[in-house]
Amino acid sequence: MKSTNLNETKHEIIKLAENHIVPEYIKILCIDDNPNDPELLLAVLSKSKKVHYKTETASTYNDGLTLITQQKHDIYLIDIKLDGANDGLDLIEECIKKGIDGPFVIWSGYIDERVYQRNLTANLNFLSKNEQNIYILDNLIRYTIKNWKLSSKVREYFC
């Protein structure tokens, strides 16, 4: 519901930002053609004392697209390198064309200039597969979800 008073809208958005808009139970979709990487991620995330994580995996571009379009996950971790001609960034672009804007995190063992530039324009977060610190992983995932939800509410009020 849009507020007609700008001051009221501002206060509504501030209340949203202050409230806990990240669930205690987070469903992650990991899209990666290496089955070991999502297993390792879940092992690290299982150490979280703040949130319970449940992961689902897809190993191909097409399987990932199918699961993302169902919109039943809280966040999508997508590897750059996927099967075939399309990569993880192509998958995100396809989702955005279909009206699904995330929250997406590029999850990869490498980054190059092309990835960095596309990352900036799409407002995505990046997570290294080498990251094993539960506090960093946990905070990045929760922050990404919170930021995405807050951005969605701001767009809802002003667009």
With helix as H, strand as E and coil as C, how does 52-77 read? Answer: EEEEEEECCHHHHHHHHHCCCCCEEE
Q: Indicate whether 85 pLDDT > 60.
A: yes
Give residue 28's identity as a one-letter amino acid code.
Answer: I
Q: How far apart are CA 19 and CA 28, in angstroms?
A: 22
Q: Indicate whether 14 pLDDT > 70.
A: no
Q: Indicate whether 3 pLDDT > 50.
A: no
Domains of the chain, earliest start first: 23-158 (3.40.50.2300)
Q: Indicate whether 82 pLDDT > 90.
A: no
**Tokens coding 20:** 């806990």
Q: How far apart are CA 155 and CA 158, in angstroms?
A: 5
Between 11-15, 33-37, 137-141, the lowest mean confidence (pLDDT) is in 11-15
Q: Tokens 């299982």 belong to which residue?
A: 46
pTM score above 0.85: no
Average pLDDT, the chain: 82
Q: Indicate whether 58 pLDDT > 90.
A: yes
8 Å CB contact between 92 and 104? yes
Q: How far apart are CA 151 and CA 154, in angstroms?
A: 5
User: Angle between the 88-97 and 113-122 helix axes, to the nearest 10 degrees?
Assistant: 20
> pLDDT by residue (tens digit) across 98-137?
988 889 998 888 766 766 666 555 567 888 888 888 888 9
